Structure 1
Amino acid sequence: MSELEIIDCHNHILRTADHSCDLYSNLLRFSAAMGLPDRPGFFGTPDEAERVMDATGIAHMNILMFTWSGVYWRQGQNILPDEPATRAREAEELRRRIIRRIRENNAWALEQAAASPRLSCFVGVDPVLMDEETLLAEVENGVRAGALGVKHVPMNHGTEGDDPRMWPVFDYCASAGIPLLTQAAGFMPGRPARYAKALGEFPGLKIVFAHLGHDRRFGQGADAEVLELARAHDGVHTDVSLRLIEVTDGHVSAEAMAAHLRAIGTDRVLFGSNWVISEYLWLRARPGVTPASSHERLDREIEVLRRLPLTDEELAAIAAGNFRRLTGLGT
């Protein structure tokens, strides 16, 4: 399908080179000691994202605004004073500063989306550092400013999908018809099965489980949990970020990938890349290899998408149609 419209539902465009380096060395903990460059050779900024879209033929990128607030909070505990009253006071100040960073990052992403018809965004939240009032205000303000959904990162917060602190967000999203995209994994916080309670309590809740569930065994564990949830709840969706490369690497056949997507429902699957983090992860997987571009892995994922043994209608839905329907983009 040479005219296939592609919308990348899952990417991490970063504010500046410094922001990218913080992700690279602080969140991912990449360094020369791992055989990697001390700094990435590309930074995932909006200008670069525009060039990547031009080079790959991607029509639209959706920014998942992720502030690694849990990392900042845990690191900050190491420099708090010993005296209890002073420690409590400065811990509260640290919490407020991190929340301010979440808000500023969300505001920045919304500005980028407002400035370019090729960009949209989901706003990020932190149910540990934000109280209920703050959580709901951030989501409501984001939606009013044009956000298409909410981003949840259990790995960052150290929570799971059944954490009661997320209930106000689930309630709002279900009532407003706003999708929530969550990091999913079978080997860290983010087990899809832990969202079953929320999906049962909020029938209108629309959740996109990233990475097909992200189990180390394709189709098993967390992957199977996404499939089970999709069969039980109409609002369950997933994206293929971090997973199509398994076909390129020879770990999964194109036929097995297509069969798994059909089992979930090709009307429930969205194309996503996890750019620019995915390109950094590929550096780790291939130490010493200098990438040809900032979208080398993304090129391969798009190639896999195009040659999956699916019908033209199924490919069109996964590539862009399902995201448009789920978020209302372009309506």
Structure 2
Amino acid sequence: MTDLEIVDCHNHVLRSADHSCDLYSNLLRFSAAMGLPDRPEFFGTPEEAERVMDATGIAHMNILMFTWSGVYWRQGQNILPDESRARAAASEDLRQRIVRRIQDNNTWALEQVAGNPRLSCFVGIDPVLMDSETLLAEVENGLRRGALGVKHVPMNHSTEGDDPRLRPVLDYCASAGVPILTQAAGFMAGRPGRWAKPLADFPTLKLIFAHLGHDRTFGQGADAEVLELVRAYPNVHTDVSLRLIEVAEGHVSAEDMVAHLRKLGSDRVLFGSNWVISEYLWMRSRPGVAHPGSHDRLDREIEVLKTLPLTDDERTALAAGNFRRLTGLGR
């Protein structure tokens, strides 16, 4: 399908080279000691995102505005004073500064999408450092300014889906019909099964599990938990970010991938790439590559998207249609 429209629902476009280097060395902890460059050669900025879309044929990128606030909070504990009163005051100041960073990053993302019809965004939250009033205000402000949804990252702030601090956001989003995209994994925080009770309590919640569940054994564990919840709740979806490369590299056959996607339902799966983080992760799996490209892995994932033995209707839904329907993009 040479005219296939592709909407990438799962992107991490970054503010600047400095922002990208902080992700690379501080969040991912990449360095020369790992056989990698000390800093990346591409940065995932909006300007680079435009070039990548032009080069790959992607029509639209959805920014998941992720602030690694949990990393900042844990690092900040090391420089708090010893005396209890001073420590409490410094801790509160640190919390407020990190919350402001989340808000400022969301504001930046909203400004980018306001001026570029090829971009949309989900605003980021931290239910540990943000109280319920601040959480709801940030979500409401984001939606008022054009955000399409909310991004939740369990590995960052260690809040699983059943954490009570998330409930005000779940209640609001379920009532308002606003989707939440949550990082999922079978080997770290983000276990899909921990969403069973929240989904029972908020059955209309539009929830998107990233990475098909992201189990190390394809179709098992966390992947199977996502399948169970997709079958139980009509508004639960998932995306293929970080997973189509398994087909490209021969770890999962195209036939097995299609069989799994059809079990989930062709109307319940969204295309996503996790760019630009995915390209950095691929650098780690290919040590010694002197000049990695900014969309080397993405090129291979799109080739898999275009060649999986799906029907035309299934491919069209996966590539763009499901995300447009779920979020109202383009209405």
Please give the TM-score of this superposition, normalised by the length of structure 2. Answer: 0.99
Task: Measure, in 2, the Cα distance between the counterparts of 1:230 and 1:291.
Answer: 40
1:250 corresponding residue in structure 2: 250
Residue pair 2:283, 2:292 contacting (<8 A) in 1 also: no
**Counterpart amino acid of 2:179?**
P
2:306 corresponding residue in structure 1: 306
- How far off is 1:291 after superposition? 4.5
**Counterpart amino acid of 2:299?**
D
Task: Measure, in 1, the Cα distance between the counterparts of 2:189 and 2:235.
Answer: 21
For residues 226-257 of structure 1, the C-alpha deviation after alignment (integer angstroms, 9 at most, x for no partner) is 00001111111000000000001110000000
**SS of equivalent to 1:133:** helix
Task: Measure, in 2, the Cα distance between the counterparts of 1:49 and 1:213.
Answer: 26
For residues 131-172 of structure 1, the C-alpha deviation after alignment (integer angstroms, 9 at most, x for no partner) is 000000000000000000000000000111100000001001
2:192 corresponding residue in structure 1: 192
**SS of equivalent to 1:204:** coil
Q: 1:1-331 residue pairs with structure 2 within 5 A?
A: 1-331=1-331
**SS of equivalent to 1:43:** coil
Task: Measure, in 1, the Cα distance between the counterparts of 2:142 and 2:64.
Answer: 12
Instruction: Give the number of equivalent residue pairs.
Output: 331
**Counterpart amino acid of 1:252?**
V
Identity %: 80
**SS of equivalent to 2:274:** coil
- How far off is 1:204 after superposition? 1.1
**Counterpart amino acid of 1:141?**
N
- How far off is 1:290 after superposition? 3.0
Task: Measure, in 2, the Cα distance between the counterparts of 1:103 and 1:290.
Answer: 37
Residue pair 2:179, 2:327 contacting (<8 A) in 1 also: yes
For residues 274-316 of structure 1, the C-alpha deviation after alignment (integer angstroms, 9 at most, x for no partner) is 0000000000011111345200000000000001111000000
**Counterpart amino acid of 1:262?**
R
**SS of equivalent to 2:9:** strand
For residues 22-68 of structure 1, the C-alpha deviation after alignment (integer angstroms, 9 at most, x for no partner) is 00000000000000000001000000000000000000000000000
**SS of equivalent to 1:262:** helix
**Counterpart amino acid of 1:298?**
L
Task: Measure, in 2, the Cα distance between the counterparts of 1:287 and 1:29.
Answer: 15
**SS of equivalent to 1:187:** coil
Task: Measure, in 1, the Cα distance between the counterparts of 2:142 and 2:122.
Answer: 8
Task: Measure, in 1, the Cα distance between the counterparts of 2:180 and 2:292.
Answer: 34
RMSD: 0.6
**SS of equivalent to 2:73:** helix
Task: Measure, in 2, the Cα distance between the counterparts of 1:134 and 1:240.
Answer: 31
For residues 203-225 of structure 1, the C-alpha deviation after alignment (integer angstroms, 9 at most, x for no partner) is 21011000000000000000000
List runs of 5+ in structure 2 lacking aligned partners.
none
**Counterpart amino acid of 2:221?**
G
List runs of 5+ in structure 1 lacking aligned partners.
none
Task: Measure, in 2, the Cα distance between the counterparts of 1:248 and 1:71.
Answer: 32
**SS of equivalent to 1:272:** coil
For residues 93-136 of structure 1, the C-alpha deviation after alignment (integer angstroms, 9 at most, x for no partner) is 00000000000000000000001000000000000000000000
**SS of equivalent to 1:30:** coil
Superposed structure 1 runs of 4+ greater than 6 Å apart: none
For residues 166-194 of structure 1, the C-alpha deviation after alignment (integer angstroms, 9 at most, x for no partner) is 00010011011000000000000000010
**SS of equivalent to 1:61:** strand
Please give the TM-score of this superposition, normalised by the length of structure 1. Answer: 0.99
Task: Measure, in 2, the Cα distance between the counterparts of 1:164 and 1:138.
Answer: 18
Task: Measure, in 2, the Cα distance between the counterparts of 1:291 and 1:231.
Answer: 43
For residues 73-96 of structure 1, the C-alpha deviation after alignment (integer angstroms, 9 at most, x for no partner) is 000000000000000000000000
**SS of equivalent to 1:105:** helix
Residue pair 2:124, 2:152 contacting (<8 A) in 1 also: yes
**Counterpart amino acid of 1:42?**
F
